Structures are given as C-alpha cells and as structure tokens.
Structure 1
Amino acid sequence: MSIKNDMVVQFNYTLRDEKGEELETNKGLDPIAYLHGHHNMMPGVEKALTGRAIGDSFSVTLPPEETYGIRNPDAEQRVSVKHLQGAKVWKPGMRAIIHTEQGQRQVTVLKVGKFMATVDINHPLAGRELTFELEVVGARDATQEEIAHGHAHGVGGHHH
C-alpha cells in the first residue's frame, strides 16, 4: 500500500544535523502518526514519505524551507520571565517553552533581567539543512472521523 493523501502514516525517525550528529530520535518509543496530505507534517518529510510503503527505510536531506523554516534575524521578543517554562533560573542560550495563541513554542533565551527576558522565537533548528532517517512502520486509510478532525487518532496520534 503506497502512502497517499487521507492515510494515517506511522514512522520512526532519527534527525541529524549537517555534521551527521544525532539531534533527536523516537527509536524505542511509539512511532509518530500523522494524517498524510493535511499539513500535519513538515512539507519535506511528507513529500519524502509520499509513495512509500510499510517497511521502507531511507534517508532524506532537506533544506530549511521544507522543515523548520528560514531564520528570521528580527525574531526577538521580550517576555515576562514568569512565562518561561522549563527551569527555575534562566541564562542566555537556554531553551524555554512559552505558551502562545498558536500553542506551545520553543524559544532560546538571549538576555535575562529580573522581570523580563529577551527570547529568540525562531525554532532552534530553523535555517539548518537536516537529514531525516525514516522508517515507515504503518500506513492505513484514515477513518472519516480522522479526516473530519484533520488529524490521526490512536498510538502516536491525537487522543480525545
């Protein structure tokens, strides 16, 4: 069964940087599940998985435009220190989570004062060419409910 739109795809991945160093992986954990063709996955990863089948393992190197985007040098913002989550004491270079109207966002702390911090709101991997080692472990037609909701349900997907 080839992966196409309106399918729930499950895969494992290892993400590597330009030097081949491992940045993250889900090996040993539940696979990632998403609804193919519904903008739930990075464009480059979704494109690389299109037409693949269960059992396929491959590697793809993608430009920033197809993953976390181009770095915006003006993407700095001042936020209250109380809105930074992930540590008690903050120092420049640390990563924090903040809640936005679009949901959680990972930021990098640039400067810290007593009450306010300046953060870089670019994704930490923005602007980088990244290599994804992908293994397709599942693919099935999505249910009408999943299509209506716009996301995969079950293991690795959304739980209501």
Structure 2
Amino acid sequence: MVVANNKVVSVTYELRKNSADGEIIEIVKEDNPLVYIAGIGSLLPDFEANLMGKKLDESFSFSIPADDAYGPREDAAIIDIPLQVFMVDGAVDYELVKIGQTIPMRDQDGNRLNGIVLDVNETSVKMDFNHPLAGDDLFFTGKVVGIRDATQEELEHGHVHSHGAHSHDED
C-alpha cells in the first residue's frame, strides 16, 4: 500500500527551519505520529504532495520554500490594537497582555487568529498575526509508519477516528 488520496497516513518527522541543519522546530515520534487523511487538504499542500506515493516504512526528506509553506512575513499582519479591547470589568489583565504572550483573537469575520504581543503601552497593544513560521523555509525528514484505507465515516467527517475512541453518535 502507498500513500494516496483517502488513505489514513501516519508519519514521524523532524522539522527544521531555514536549512537542513537549522533550528529544530518539531519532532514527531512513533509513539505519537502525525495521522491524517491524504488528499483532503488538511495539511500544507506541498507536505502532502511530497508524501504521495511513499510506501510503508519508507523514509523521506524534502523542503518547502517559505512562499509555499506559510508565506512571507507581512508587515500588514503587525497591528496596534487599542488597549481597551483587552479590558474586562474596567481593567486590563496584564498577565494575559504581556510581551511574548500568544493571545487568541477573532477578526471582523469571526475567524480565529493567534497573535503574539510585541509591545504594550498606555494606549495600545502591538500584535503580530503572522504565522510563527512565516518567512521560513521548512525542512522535513521522517518516515511513513502507517497506511490504511480511511473509513467512510472518517471521509464524511474529514478527520481520523483512531481505535474507535472517537464517535459523533449522540447518547
């Protein structure tokens, strides 16, 4: 069996940024592999494309340029938000609103975005809504550790149900 559309695929990998020997960003081991349904678009398109056709136990090594991963860093994604947005009962929670903190926010359309606090002053909070890996080339090395057919229920729900532990049935 090979990685193909509608297969449940399990992979282990090491992700580095900007070069094959760059900073390690993530290590996914066999005791908790990344498990996904191939071809449904839940992962970076180039990540999925590089795994298509791989066999069980086959190793892989590939890179994804920044523009094809999370895109370039955009100055427009760094914005000043009025401090009063962060007020609850007339006070700002400075444990939440502090430099380096990631805060979940919503845009004007209700989409969830994570922003990192860059600066706080008397009137505003400067936040960066770029993806943390925006502007970085990604380097993956790893191995395909599992391939199986997705169940009809998994395909309908668009995600993997592992070991019968997940159900959408109502009690």
Q: Give TM-score scaled by structure 2 length.
A: 0.77
Equivalence for 1:51: 53
Q: Name the CA shift for 1:132/1:141 in 2 (closer, same or farther; >3 Å).
A: same
Q: Is 2:125 aligned against 1:117? A: yes
CA contact (8 A) 1:81 1:116 kept: no
Q: Name the CA shift for 1:135/1:99 in 2 (closer, same or farther; >3 Å).
A: farther
CA contact (8 A) 2:97 2:117 kept: no
Q: Name the CA shift for 1:82/1:63 in 2 (closer, same or farther; >3 Å).
A: farther
Is there any run of 5+ residues in structure 2 with no aligned partner, and where?
A: 89-94
Equivalence for 2:161: 153
Q: Name the CA shift for 1:159/1:23 in 2 (closer, same or farther; >3 Å).
A: farther
Q: Kindly, what percent of the aligned residue pairs are identical?
A: 37
Q: Is 2:70 aligned against 1:62? A: no
Residues in 1 aligned to 2:30 and 2:87: alpha-carbon distance in whole angstroms? 35
Residues in 2 aligned to 1:109 and 1:159: alpha-carbon distance in whole angstroms? 37
Q: Which letter maps to 2:42?
A: N
CA contact (8 A) 1:8 1:34 kept: yes
- Superposed, 1:1-160 pairs within 5 Å as 1-19=1-19, 20-27=22-29, 29-77=31-79, 78=81, 80-81=85-86, 88=96, 90-91=98-99, 94-100=100-106, 101-103=110-112, 105-113=113-121, 116-154=124-162
C-alpha deviation, 1:24, in angstroms:
1.5
Residues in 1 aligned to 2:8 and 2:105: alpha-carbon distance in whole angstroms? 28
Query: Secondary structure, in 3 states, of the residue corresponding to 1:10?
Result: strand
Q: Which moved more, 1:62-71 or 1:110-119?
A: 110-119
Q: Name the CA shift for 1:89/1:107 in 2 (closer, same or farther; >3 Å).
A: closer
Residues in 2 aligned to 1:95 and 1:28: alpha-carbon distance in whole angstroms? 31
CA contact (8 A) 1:55 1:137 kept: yes
Query: Secondary structure, in 3 states, of the residue corresponding to 1:131?
Result: strand
Q: Which has the larger radius of gyration?
A: 2
Query: Secondary structure, in 3 states, of the residue corresponding to 2:144?
Result: strand
C-alpha deviation, 1:70, in angstroms:
2.4
Is there any run of 5+ residues in structure 1 with no aligned partner, and where?
A: none
Q: Give TM-score scaled by structure 1 length.
A: 0.81
Provide Cα deviations, 1:113-156, integer angstroms capped at 9, x if missing partner: 3574221101011111110112111111111111111122217x
Deviating beyond 6 angstroms after TM superposition, the runs of 4 or more aligned structure 1 residues are none
CA contact (8 A) 2:102 2:117 kept: yes
Query: Secondary structure, in 3 states, of the residue corresponding to 1:74?
Result: helix
